[in-house]
Amino acid sequence: MKCLGLMSGTSMDGVDCAIVDVRPGRSTLRIALLAHRTSPYPPAIREQLLSLVRTGTVEAQTSVVETQTGTAATLCRLHAAVGEVFARVANRTIRQAKLSPKDVAVIGSHGQTVWHSPARVPVAGVGSIRSSLQIGDPSVIAERTGILTVADFRARDLAAGGEGAPLTPYVHYHVFRSRRWSRLIVNLGGIANVTYLPRGGGPEDVVAFDVGPCNLLLDGLMTHATHGQRLIDRNGAEASRGRVRDVLVKALLRHPFFARRPPKSTGREEFGERYLQHVRRVAARHRLSLEDTLASSCTAIAQTIRRAGTWAVDEVIAGGGGVRNRALLAALKREFEPGHVTSMERSGVKSQALEAMAFAVLAYETIRGVPANLPWVTGAKSPVVLGTVTPGRGPFALRT
């Protein structure tokens, strides 16, 4: 079955789209990447998204129900607009693969996270709740492509008492499981997360959780220092020129999230603008250059990953945008045994495509009625079928 996945991460820099062929195997799914495309958000939409989450982070410090004038209207418009962007990327990727929309059985859209609150919060009249919101209207995607669309993957796991994340470890298991090697899969995205796959283990042996900020921290430091002229430290060039300063590394590692036991997940709500302000204040107090601040941040990120667990690891397989940051990858290699760290590309997987691939596979499982949330990872009370289904167009729109 040909399935299409859409994903935009915490960095909000654009949309990844992947088309995969999925077939059942003896113990794991067989997943082949057919096409992949990364498309940046239109600048105006990205700025509105960033402005929205900055506003939301500030509001979260006062009340979970208060909103500033215009926030609801902005959120409503962005929900539709992001759906349009996702649909365009999907159609372009289908054409790039020389396929027709009729060839694609299902679209899995993670959407764009604008709020993730996995910890229970008291709400008057309801009790304590967990919540997470991903925008990008699946009805728009289904209408523009004509393809049955699965979205809102996190909500059912949250309703079942889980954190709603991480969800990609289910696919990490099917892609990277090994009978010979114990593997630690590291995603260096806006947030770093890890998936531990013990040698010869089954799905019930998977251990996975969010570790802490990654590109969210590095990009934020770069954007602020250059007044928005440079959004990333391309290839880690600035960090590579810096010196690691222990005073900043130790300050970064004091955040209470790092000591929290799994299941755990996080995002801009904990590691957004307020956290960046704290990092910048510490760097300024000790008169650290931008280069030293970035180098120290790379080391702190690598240390949070290494300290995440006490597993016996034969291979560390790194993916996500951070693998292009030479300083970050070098810091990760310093934390593990020589030769243990490699990239997903060297393992035969396109790292930039993996998360989009994951939501294509999760959508495949949804329409088959297969639970894919790994409750021992998310903390849910039970396995659940993920996502909500929006039919495509035509008389066979619900055929699977």
Summarize pLDDT for 303-352 with one digit per residue, the tens.
999 999 998 999 999 999 999 999 999 999 999 988 999 999 988 999 99
Cis peptide before 263, with omega less than 30 degrees from 0?
yes
Report domain 169-339's class.
alpha beta
100 phi and psi, to 5 degrees? -105, 150
Q: What is the pLDDT of residue 19?
A: 98
pLDDT by residue (tens digit) across 134-170?
A: 999 999 999 999 999 999 999 999 999 999 999 999 9
Does the pLDDT at position 54 exceed 90?
no
Close Cβ partners of 263 (under 8 Å, ≥ 6 residues apart): 162, 163, 209, 377, 378, 379
Reported as a pLDDT band with limits 50, 70 and 90, residue 56 is low
Q: Parse the chain into domains and list their residue ranges.
A: 2-164+355-372+382-390, 169-339
Q: In the chain, what is the greatest distance between 2 CA atoms, to the nearest angstrom?
A: 66
Close Cβ partners of 261 (under 8 Å, ≥ 6 residues apart): none
Does the pLDDT at position 355 exceed 80?
yes
Q: What is the pLDDT of residue 169?
A: 98
pLDDT by residue (tens digit) across 259-306?
A: 999 999 999 989 999 999 999 999 999 999 999 999 999 999 999 999
Cα 92 from chain centre: 22
Q: What is the pLDDT of residue 397?
A: 52
Reported as a pLDDT band with limits 50, 70 and 90, residue 69 is very low
Q: What is the pLDDT of residue 55?
A: 61
- Residues 350-379, mean pLDDT to the nearest whole number: 97
Q: What is the pLDDT of residue 119?
A: 87
Does the pLDDT at position 394 exceed 80?
no
Comparing CA positions, the residue from 54, 45, 123, 51 lying closest to residue 88 is 45
Does the pLDDT at position 15 exceed 50?
yes
State how beta strands 341-343 and 315-319 pair. Answer: parallel
pLDDT by residue (tens digit) across 105-143?
A: 999 999 999 999 998 888 999 999 999 999 999 999 999
Q: What is the CATH number of domain 2-164+355-372+382-390?
A: 3.30.420.40
Does the pLDDT at position 64 exceed 60?
no
> How crowded is the C-beta side of 369, counted as CA atoms within 13 Å?
1
Q: What is the pLDDT of residue 65?
A: 36
Does the pLDDT at position 395 exceed 60?
no
Q: What is the pLDDT of residue 347?
A: 87
Close Cβ partners of 170 (under 8 Å, ≥ 6 residues apart): 203, 206, 358, 361, 362, 365, 372, 373, 374
Does this model's pTM top 0.85? My answer is: yes
Q: How far apart are CA 53 and CA 272, in angstroms?
A: 9
